[in-house]
């Protein structure tokens, strides 16, 4: 056995040195192979565990960088969506401005039948549709400024309505006065003046105090109609439906003035004198109907026929264009997502900045419901809206407000992006610092270890030679045995 082998002191000393050198050489070669001077807790417990802690934290922060990077891309996706939505809203503004500037309203000219208008029957034009709406607005074609009952006032035999019309009363529409069997001349006068407001058409008595007199001091014509019982009681007419007293036909210019000065038609219908004909312009997107046409004569005489004036086709087409672009706003917002998170739909994005989650940032749009046509206040356009210049002006203000909201949201996201990018740079720098600190505790100096290995190789060679010399001294005894 090895323990029974006797070595001289010199040989044993040289062998021990050679073994120590081999151990040092193995250690140095291990450091060169791994690049570390501390590979386990046995090498240096303090440095090993400290470096392990630093490396672990560096790894945790590196994992957080992936989430931060995704957060940056999510913010950039939201910003791309806002940019696209902004462009769409600017397109909507251009559409509205084009509609606002377009004046290609349709018009038509019509001849008037003066002979048919100049009768004792109420004659008028009635406008409906277009911007006027379903309730027609009438404009008288004939009338007189003073109407006096042909007979004394008598209490109505039955309750009935009396209708009065003048261009400066109730926007040109008829005023209805309800009479009962108990009404006297005085109560009837009071009812009429209350209905007309005491201006325009004024009711009074004649000199004898027995007849009803209607006067329009402004010079505008007064037309009278209503139920037979009411008309008979007033002595204005005995016609059973509607009638005027001593009517005279209005000239084209008078009718033009009556239409253009009617508060219920202003901004909706425009009239002018077209070489003796009545020219009607429809200032709206949908068609306008005019009742008072006689198909047999192809003239307006207050008859029951209807003529139509088409709406503004350019503005009508722009309504469709506007709504098509508007519909894309929500789709743009829906598609502005990244990795399943969409800030433009109100999603929350939470980013953790340290391994213990004590430092974080939650990002959400300024409106919890996100960015869409509702939160931006952009409603669908209608033909009625695009037919009104004032409504289009209001729409431009609405779109301007929407752009302001978008810019505010973009600014908020931009601020958040700056914070996240700054934190990303900080985390990268901190991770590098931690890793360098861990490396300083464990990494070997390859230059030093290389020099050590070279020195150990030289030492090993010398020790081998020394061991050989020691062995030769023991071999001297063999000379005596020969």
| pLDDT surpassing 80 at residue 445 | no
- Domain's final residue, options 282, 312, 342: 312
Mean pLDDT along residues 174-188: 92
Instruction: Encode pLDDT of 1-48 as tens digits.
Output: 456 766 667 667 777 777 777 777 777 777 667 767 777 776 778 777
- 142 and 263, same structural domain? yes
- 289 and 343, same structural domain? no
Which residue reads 């390859």 in tokens?
446
- 68 and 141, same structural domain? no
Phi then psi for residue 340, to 5 deg, are 85, -5
Q: In this predicted model, which residue has the larger pLDDT, 358 or 22?
A: 358
| pLDDT surpassing 70 at residue 475 | no
Residue 425: give its domain's CATH number.
1.20.1330.10
Q: In this predicted model, which residue has the larger pLDDT, 3 or 260?
A: 260
- 219 and 291, same structural domain? yes
Q: Residue 96's pLDDT band (boundaries 50, 70, 90)? A: very high
Mean pLDDT along residues 245-264: 81
477 in any annotated domain? no
- 293 and 144, same structural domain? yes
Q: How many domains does the chain have?
A: 2
Confidence (pLDDT) at 233: 87
- 231 and 181, same structural domain? yes
184 in any annotated domain? yes
- 123 and 80, same structural domain? no
- Domain's final residue, options 247, 279, 312: 312
What is the chain's mean pLDDT, rounded? 83
- 275 and 296, same structural domain? yes
In the chain, the percentage of residues whose pLDDT exceeds 70 is 85
Instruction: Encode pLDDT of 315-356 as tens digits.
Output: 889 999 999 999 999 999 999 888 888 899 888 888 888 887
28 in any annotated domain? no
DSSP string covering 139-193: EESEEBSEEE-SS-----SS-EEEEEE-TTSGGGSPEEEEE-TT--HHHHHHHHH
- 365 and 220, same structural domain? no
C-beta neighbour count of 325 within 10 angstroms: 17
- 182 and 97, same structural domain? no
| pLDDT surpassing 90 at residue 86 | yes
| pLDDT surpassing 70 at residue 105 | yes
Contact criterion met (CB below 8 Å) for 245 and 224? yes
- 126 and 73, same structural domain? no
- For residue 447, give both structure tokens: 């230059």
- 214 and 199, same structural domain? yes
Which residue reads 């213990």 in tokens?
356
232 in any annotated domain? yes
The alpha carbon torsion through 317, 323, 325, 327 (nearest 10 deg) reads -150
């Amino acid at each position: 056995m090895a323990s029974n082998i006797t070595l001289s002191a010199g040989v044993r000393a040289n062998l021990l040195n050679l073994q120590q050198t081999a151990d040092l050489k193995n250690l140095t070669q291990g450091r060169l192979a791994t690049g570390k001077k501390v590979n386990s807790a046995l090498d240096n417990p303090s440095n090993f565990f400290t470096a392990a802690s630093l490396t672990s934290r560096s790894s945790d922060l590196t994992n957080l960088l992936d989430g931060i990077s995704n957060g940056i891309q999510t913010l950039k996706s939201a910003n791309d969506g806002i940019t696209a939505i902004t462009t769409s809203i600017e397109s909507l503004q251009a559409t509205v401005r084009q509609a606002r500037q377009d004046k290609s309203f349709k018009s038509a000219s019509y001849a008037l039948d003066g002979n048919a208008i100049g009768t004792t029957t109420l004659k008028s034009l009635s406008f409906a549709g277009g911007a006027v709406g379903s309730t027609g607005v009438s404009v008288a074609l004939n009338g007189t400024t003073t109407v006096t009952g042909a007979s004394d006032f008598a209490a109505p035999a039955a309750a009935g309505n009396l209708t009065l019309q003048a261009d400066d009363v109730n926007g040109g529409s008829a005023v209805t006065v309800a009479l009962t069997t108990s009404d006297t001349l005085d109560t009837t006068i009071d009812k009429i003046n209350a209905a007309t407001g005491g201006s325009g058409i004024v009711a009074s008595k004649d000199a004898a105090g027995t007849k009803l007199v209607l006067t329009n001091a402004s010079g505008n014509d007064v037309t009278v109609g209503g139920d037979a019982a009411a008309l008979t009681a007033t002595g204005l007419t005995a016609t059973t439906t509607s009638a005027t007293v001593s009517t005279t036909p209005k000239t084209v210019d008078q009718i033009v003035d009556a239409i253009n000065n009617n508060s219920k038609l202003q901004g909706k219908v425009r009239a002018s004198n077209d070489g003796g004909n009545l020219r009607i312009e429809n200032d709206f997107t949908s068609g306008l109907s005019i009742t008072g046409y006689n198909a047999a004569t192809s003239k307006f005489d207050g008859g029951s026929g209807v003529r139509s004036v088409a709406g503004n086709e350019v503005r009508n087409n722009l309504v469709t264009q506007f709504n098509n672009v508007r519909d894309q706003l929500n789709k743009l917002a829906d598609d502005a997502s990244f990795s399943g998170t969409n800030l433009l739909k109100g999603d929350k994005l939470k980013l953790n900045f340290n391994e213990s989650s004590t430092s974080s940032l939650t990002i959400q749009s300024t409106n919890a419901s996100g960015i869409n046509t509702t939160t931006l206040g952009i409603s669908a356009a209608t033909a009625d809206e695009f037919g009104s210049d004032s409504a289009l002006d209001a729409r431009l203000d609405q779109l301007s407000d929407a752009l302001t909201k978008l810019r505010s949201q973009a600014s908020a996201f931009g601020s958040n992006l700056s914070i996240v990018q700054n934190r990303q740079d900080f985390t990268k720098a901190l991770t590098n610092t931690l890793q360098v600190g861990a490396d300083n505790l464990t990494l070997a100096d390859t230059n030093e270890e290389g020099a050590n290995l070279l020195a150990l190789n030289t030492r090993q060679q010398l020790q081998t030679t020394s061991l050989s010399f020691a062995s030769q001294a023991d071999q001297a005894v063999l000379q005596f045995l020969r």
